[in-house]
């Protein structure tokens, strides 16, 4: 009798887990397919705040182009002078291997970044290179998803993820996450990341969203490192819809030419 009860419980739990996994995969796929605009540009402002309260500011021109098969992001730093003309470029392909490059004026060299560096911090901020290019979406090949139900207080959908393999976790710099998803915009309004040892690592909060060219975009957000106390605040100024961005603007050879002039 006892064995029958245990077997029934195991069967029930397995069924519930399968349903949660299926719902999680469906929600993650909806987020990945979130509507995007053809192009947008704006000034990206970083405020880096240390645990002691000291603050540094960085500014950059950000260009984003989504042509369906490839999403391209270019970030050209303009301030302060010490990092001016430093540039980052990302090509995320629907099929095939993604590509990322970094240009450092001091070396006068455009360097292609290996996949293993996507978990590295981006320009001294609390964002990783992966965070920058993922645009608040979760790589479907990186995570095993589970739906955590609906938060009764906020009405947000809860999505959980665990890195598929230890090597993926090392690349991402994250072992797992729990996110609250706005069902209206399919944007995560909060993401809690754990490190590869399962310890709380980061809190990401999207504080303001807006529709740019018909697509929801994060206009203001912050990333807090729970282990160091360092926080990065990011907001965009003058964000606007900019269709028809010249593909030459997103070539790796263009990175060394300095900040583009856009009309």
Q: How many helices (H) and strands (E) does the chain have?
A: 3, 13
Mapped onto helix, strand or coil, the DSSP state of residue 175 is coil
How many angstroms separate the Cα of 36 from the Cα of each of 67, 68, 71, 179, 244? 9, 9, 10, 21, 14
Rounded Cα–Cα distance for residues 140 and 29 (Å): 7
Reading the block at residue 141, the tokens are 């090949």
Is the preceding omega at residue 80 within 30 degrees of 0, hence cis? yes
CB distance 117 to 129 below 8 Å: yes
pLDDT at 140 over 80: yes
Query: How do residues 182-201 score in pLDDT, each as one tens digit?
Result: 999 999 999 999 999 999 99
Nearest to 101 by CA among 252, 214, 260, 218: 252
pLDDT of residue 12: 42
Domains of the chain: 2-257 (2.50.20.10)
pLDDT of residue 8: 45
Higher pLDDT, 156 or 36: 156
Name the band, by pLDDT with cuts 50, 70 and 90, for residue 170. very high
Rounded Cα–Cα distance for residues 182 and 186 (Å): 5
Q: Phi/psi of residue 37, each to 5°?
A: -95, 160
Q: What is the pTM of this model?
A: 0.89
pLDDT of residue 16: 52
Q: CB under 8 Å, gap of 24 or more: what pairs does 136-144 form?
A: 136/31, 136/187, 136/188, 136/206, 136/218, 137/31, 137/32, 137/34, 138/28, 138/31, 138/32, 138/177, 138/179, 140/28, 140/29, 140/32, 142/168, 142/172, 143/28, 143/177, 144/21
Rounded Cα–Cα distance for residues 52 and 247 (Å): 43
Query: How do residues 13-56 score in pLDDT, each as one tens digit?
Result: 445 556 678 999 999 999 999 988 889 999 999 999 999 999 99
* Average model confidence (pLDDT) across the chain: 90
Nearest to 185 by CA among 160, 151, 208: 208
pLDDT at 11 over 70: no
Element (H, E) at 5: helix 2-32
């Amino acid at each position: 009798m006892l064995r029958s009860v245990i077997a029934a419980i195991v069967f029930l739990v397995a069924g519930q887990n399968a349903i949660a996994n299926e719902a999680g995969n469906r929600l993650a796929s909806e987020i990945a397919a979130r509507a995007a605009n053809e192009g947008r540009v704006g000034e990206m402002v970083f405020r880096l705040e240390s645990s002691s309260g000291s603050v540094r500011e960085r500014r950059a021109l950000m260009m984003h182009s989504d042509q369906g098969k490839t999403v391209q992001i270019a970030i050209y730093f303009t301030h302060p002078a010490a990092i001016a003309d430093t540039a980052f470029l990302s090509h995320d392909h629907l099929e095939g291997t993604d590509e990322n490059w970094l240009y450092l004026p001091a070396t006068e060299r455009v360097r292609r970044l290996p996949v293993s560096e996507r978990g590295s911090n981006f320009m001294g901020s609390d964002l990783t290179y992966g965070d920058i290019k993922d645009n608040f979406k979760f790589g479907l090949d990186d995570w095993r998803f589970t739906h955590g139900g609906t938060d009764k207080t906020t009405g947000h959908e809860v999505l959980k993820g665990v890195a598929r393999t230890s090597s993926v976790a090392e690349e991402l710099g994250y072992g797992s996450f729990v996110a609250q998803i706005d069902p209206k915009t399919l944007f995560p309004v909060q993401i809690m990341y754990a490190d590869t040892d399962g310890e709380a690592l980061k809190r990401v909060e999207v504080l303001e969203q807006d529709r740019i060219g018909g697509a929801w975009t994060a206009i203001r957000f912050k990333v807090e490192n729970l282990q160091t106390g360092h926080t990065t605040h990011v907001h965009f100024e003058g964000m606007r819809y900019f269709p028809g961005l010249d593909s030459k603007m997103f070539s790796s050879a263009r990175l060394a030419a300095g900040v583009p002039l856009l009309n």
